Amino acid sequence: MNKDQNLLTIKNLTIDYEVNSGTVHAVDNLNLEIGYGETLGFVGETGAGKTTTALGILKLLQEPRGRIVSGEIYFEGENLLDKSKGEMRNIRGSQISMIFQDPMTSLDPVMPVKKQIAEVIKLHNSISNKEANKKAKEMLETVGIRKERADDYPHQFSGGMKQRVIIAIALACNPKLLIADEPTTALDVTIQAQVLELMKDLKEKFDTSIILITHDLGIVADLCDNVAIMYAGSIVEYGDIDSIYNNPLQPYTVGLFNSIPDLDTEKKELQVIKGTLPDPTNLPSGCRFHPRCSKVFDKCSRVETSKIEVEPGHFVNCHLYNDNK
């Protein structure tokens, strides 16, 4: 595959959940591209659709309630939605891996960590138990855990070390794409920094592309090349770190940055985005952010937004930047 092309391309992806109260429109007409060796920050409030998008990529939605309604997901030029269950099992772990949110519940409590890493290695490689265990110990040392602890159980590790074990499992088969869903949740600040530094080092060592799902704009600035801002199932702004951080355009993106404390200025209170995310079973007409937007005008409630390139590589979904507003 030509590395001038994208590793992952998502086109018009729509994902719904059927619940007792109706249809939850979790992801709507989402478009996204990720290049080889790129780290993309995926930012938005809880319920915006970030994790659902990740599960959609891996085809791990719980059917029949969760389903991909339409769209295409191309990984190295092949549409994952055309793959069989068996083909997807071969892809997960070997080519695309995911770090799930909670390391405390992602590990099997009755199995030594070495065996849990070796299990993934054996699943995707024709090697002996001895070779798989050796590789598992090497992966533990790669993430900063002494190989002497390979036969320990998850309860014998701290939260930060469990997260390192999860990362070792995810990278054991050297995947081309790593999806990290809130990888530092429930970790203290010092351990967060260690885990993020580890991910940086491993990205360089393995040349892995990363989708980093997070609420923390500071983590995105430190680790990512590009950032996608997601709101109510859609990406409302996309660009490289410099463009988004130095020139945020969509009022929702501006609101996210205004809610972060600034050490250089004195403020008695932070600016907050009024209201809450809309009910996903009953989304607003027009721009979905308009009920909470400080710059709303008549068109916002009537007409859906479309992607506008305001400068090279910097896209925004907002009527403020439409020449025909």
For 151-193, what is each residue's pLDDT tens digit?
A: 999 999 988 889 889 989 998 898 999 999 988 776 778 878 8
Task: Check residue 190 and give its pLDDT.
Answer: 81
CA distance 260 to 47: 20
**pLDDT, the chain, mean:** 90
Phi then psi for residue 229, to 5 deg, are -95, 125
For 20-31, what is each residue's pLDDT tens digit?
A: 888 999 999 999
For 36-59, what is each residue's pLDDT tens digit?
A: 999 999 999 888 999 999 999 999
Phi then psi for residue 243, to 5 deg, are -65, -50
For 62-119, what is each residue's pLDDT tens digit?
A: 888 999 999 999 999 999 999 999 999 999 999 999 988 776 788 999 999 999 999 9
pLDDT(241) > 80: yes
Q: Which residues pair with 180 in a beta bridge?
A: 99, 212
Q: What is the mean pLDDT of residues 218-226?
A: 92
CB count within 10 Å of CB 8 equals 23
User: What are the structure tokens assigned to 44, written together?
Assistant: 């938005």
Choose the weakest-confidence range: 132-146, 152-166, 197-211. 197-211
Task: Check residue 213 and give its pLDDT.
Answer: 95
Phi then psi for residue 88, to 5 deg, are -65, -35
The structure's pTM equals 0.90
b (16+ CB within 10 A) / e for 108-137: eeeebbbbbbbbbbbebeeeeeeebbbbbb
Task: Check residue 325 and give its pLDDT.
Answer: 54
pLDDT(307) > 50: yes
Task: Check residue 39 and give its pLDDT.
Answer: 95
Task: Check residue 247 and give its pLDDT.
Answer: 95
For 248-277, what is each residue's pLDDT tens digit?
A: 999 999 999 988 877 667 766 777 888 888
Q: Is 185 exposed, middle or buried (0-12, 13-18, 19+ CB in 10 A)?
A: middle
Task: Transcribe 278-297 into DSSP letters.
Answer: PPTTSPPSSSTTGGG-TT--
Residues 81, 72: contact at Cβ < 8 Å?
yes
Choose the weakest-confidence range: 134-148, 181-195, 202-216. 181-195
CA distance 231 to 211: 17
CB count within 10 Å of CB 31 equals 17
pLDDT band at 2 (very low <50, low <70, confident <90, very high): very low
Q: What is the mean pLDDT of residues 285-303?
A: 93
Task: Check residue 1 and give its pLDDT.
Answer: 44
Place of tokens 């591209």: 33
CA distance 298 to 294: 13
pLDDT(7) > 60: yes
Task: Provide CB contacts within 8 A for 264, sequence distance 6+.
Answer: none
